[in-house]
Chain A
């Protein structure tokens, strides 16, 4: 069995083995494709999938992955037209990709499951049909996936949502009560129904707050910038840093709904400014905030001043702060301010804004929409050619944009993180620390370059790193690595072509690199030979740039930023 998925299912095989045994099915050898790379696995005839030619192909999709722009929409909510196109694009693509797989694997049965979602794209809006909520689009995506069953008898759709629904409903139901008293809900069920109704009643009366006043340290990013410095704070594309980034995205979504954002922080104005202007992980910009108080005054005073400045009552304010002491103080000093209970664990925070009654409304009012529209930058998104049957077309349709720039103070921490964490596509696996990289940056004959990429569907941020070392006529690739999230999109060729340019710019004739095998980087073993590098013994490969020059794939737009 081959399993392809949009998210990490590495822990699935033992469960699968158990479940198959319990269903009296013969055991299966499970091979997992790299996650998030459906097109890369399904389209090229040379992919592992077609070499394996499995009896069973399982495709596990997650709503939140396919509709990522709706779930993490920043900087602006996609217009309804774009969002609808996103759904049809995905459904059409899945249809055509699966069609390709069925044709190439005539003996294979294909199971498709669409997992999730935990909620609608915008939980703040309660009306199920309000376009901003996005629930209809999720339903349409689900219908599209269910309809994949029409491709033929060899496609079996597993209706995850319908089956897991029973898990939730079971907890709210008591068969004894049904048979004894015709009650369909148990006490928990009744409490849930009541809570839900009360929320809608409150939302309908329009109690939604107008201003979100946020702290900076520990809320927009992890740690204290005044102590840890720009590189020391937690904020970025991985781990807990991502939770902070997602929280910022959630705040931005509030803004799109017409909620004003304000900063209320005890901090050095200059430290705060530094993060806003120079930290590459920031989603929120200064201009997103309607007012700010960054000083050492007590926060109740700051909130009062913010209220005066914004000409709204303090009772329209929601105070978001990670310190229980500050929260207690504001609660006591300004009982009318809604004080949000912020969970201690940052990963739990992105979900709370959508679930907080103070931000919920039945549907955005015209005033909300007007404010939101005023915020929104018009997005000029081309309607996308629907089916992409070849891998080349798929890459073209991605509209990838790459930025390559020298590693800076602000990106140093991310560079070190990439060195520490990247295993699969990492040619030399040198685990440089921040200090090592700082040292390398000071060396005259060394260049460090960071690659960032975004595409039609998402912004992957800083995900590739190359370190070049120059000696005489040689440019040696000390490090070349890429996060697995962006593999299989020919970005490694973009980076290699750039390195060749750098080599030429510094009069090097030879581009030289080494492949150092580890337990995990086998997939990169052929990197140099297939690109016409000549083996030179000891794992070294050389390319004579006067005879052949690596070319950047034409489908990707590259922006090179020179040294600051």
Chain B
């Protein structure tokens, strides 16, 4: 799961998956601005087949939080 997540983020932020630190957040990743964030949320919805409500979108501002959220909500996400 974490690997898949890093791949999605790397794809979007234009870097390699191994360049994404496990504590990635908008402060550690220069590209992670508000526009990219919306894009990231939409990409996650597509990749993990999940609907993310607005409030969650506002809170999912670190790799860790996204990971936990997906583990809890994405269908068949535990890999």
Contact = CB atoms under 8 A, between A and B. Distances in A.
Interface string A155-190: 000000000000000000001110111010001000
B42 A180 contact: no
Nearest to A183: B38
B42 A181 contact: no
Interface in A177-224: 177, 179-181, 183, 187
B28 interface: no
Interface string B30-59: 000011001000100000000001100110
B76 to A, nearest CB: 24
Interface string B53-68: 1100110000000000
Q: Which of A175, A176, A181 has most B Cβ within 10 Å?
A: A176
Contacts of A187: 42
Residue from the set B34, B35, B54, B58 with the largest chain A CB neighbour count within 10 Å = B54
Contacts of A181: 34-35, 38
Contacts of B38: 177, 180-181, 183
Contacts of B35: 181
A187 B34 CA distance: 17
Nearest to A181: B38
B36 to A, nearest CB: 11
- For chain B, the bracket of interface size reads under 10
Contacts of B34: 180-181
Nearest to A176: B54
Contacts of A180: 34, 38, 54, 57-58
B16 to A, nearest CB: 25
B42 A179 contact: no
A177 B52 CA distance: 12
A175 B57 CA distance: 13
A136 B71 CA distance: 54
A292 B42 CA distance: 53
Nearest to B53: A176
B2 to A, nearest CB: 25
> Which of A175, A180, A183, A187 gathers the greatest number of chain B CB atoms within 10 Å?
A180
A181 B41 CA distance: 12
Nearest to A177: B38
Contacts of B54: 175-176, 179-180
A183 B42 CA distance: 13
Contacts of B57: 176, 180
Contacts of A179: 54
A224 to B, nearest CB: 46
A180 B57 CA distance: 9
Interface string A219-256: 00000000000000000000000000000000000000
Nearest to B38: A181
B21 to A, nearest CB: 25
A183 B38 CA distance: 10
Nearest to A174: B42
A397 to B, nearest CB: 57
A175 B52 CA distance: 12
Contacts of A177: 38
A299 to B, nearest CB: 42
Nearest to B46: A187
B42 to A, nearest CB: 6
Nearest to B51: A176
Contacts of A176: 53-54, 57
Contacts of B42: 187
A176 B39 CA distance: 12
Contacts of A175: 54
Contacts of B53: 176
A552 to B, nearest CB: 68
A185 to B, nearest CB: 12
A223 B11 CA distance: 51
Interface in B1-46: 34-35, 38, 42
Interface in A354-395: none
A180 B41 CA distance: 11
Contacts of B58: 180
A524 B57 CA distance: 67
B69 to A, nearest CB: 15
A529 B38 CA distance: 77
A179 B38 CA distance: 11
A176 B35 CA distance: 13
A512 to B, nearest CB: 73
A34 to B, nearest CB: 47
Contacts of A183: 38
B60 to A, nearest CB: 12
A547 B43 CA distance: 86
A177 B38 CA distance: 8
A180 B35 CA distance: 9
Nearest to B34: A181
A179 B53 CA distance: 12
A216 B70 CA distance: 56
B40 to A, nearest CB: 12
B9 to A, nearest CB: 18
A332 B67 CA distance: 49
Minimum-distance CB pairs A-B, first 10: A176-B54, A181-B38, A180-B38, A179-B54, A180-B57, A176-B57, A187-B42, A177-B38, A180-B54, A181-B35
16 contacts: A175-B54, A176-B53, A176-B54, A176-B57, A177-B38, A179-B54, A180-B34, A180-B38, A180-B54, A180-B57, A180-B58, A181-B34, A181-B35, A181-B38, A183-B38, A187-B42
Given A180-B34, A180-B58, 14 more contacts: A175-B54, A176-B53, A176-B54, A176-B57, A177-B38, A179-B54, A180-B38, A180-B54, A180-B57, A181-B34, A181-B35, A181-B38, A183-B38, A187-B42
Interface of A: 175-177, 179-181, 183, 187
